[in-house]
Amino acid sequence: MEDTDFDIAMDRLLEGSACSSWNALANFLSVSPAAIAQARRLKKGIPANWLLTLLHKSMVNPDWVIGESSAKYLQEKNPTPKEMLTDLVRMHAAIS
């Protein structure tokens, strides 16, 4: 993930969580503020568990966060197990 793409993804994570600060985001994600600071410093990618927490709490599309979709929110649907697995593998590849 390019540095610019990472910065955009972090800003979208902040926006999608409706948090106004990095400390608030840490609280929202149930991680330490140091974890947020480290991720912002290293810029290696958004941890998958952060994307899943955002999805679970706010129905924000993880693909929107990482810039692979223009749809900010997911619509409710009943995906097949194969579709869910494909989406998880694709998300993991995008953030690794």
Q: Report the pLDDT averaged over residues 6-25.
A: 95
Contacts 24+ apart (CB under 8 A), 68-75: 68/94, 72/16
In which element (H, E) is residue 15 found?
Answer: helix 3-16
**Threshold 0.85, pTM exceeds:** no
Q: pLDDT, tens digit, for every residue of 28-79?
A: 999 999 999 999 999 999 999 999 999 999 999 999 999 999 999 887 656 6
- At 6 the pLDDT is 95
Domains of the chain (ranges plus CATH)?
Answer: 3-95 (1.10.260.40)
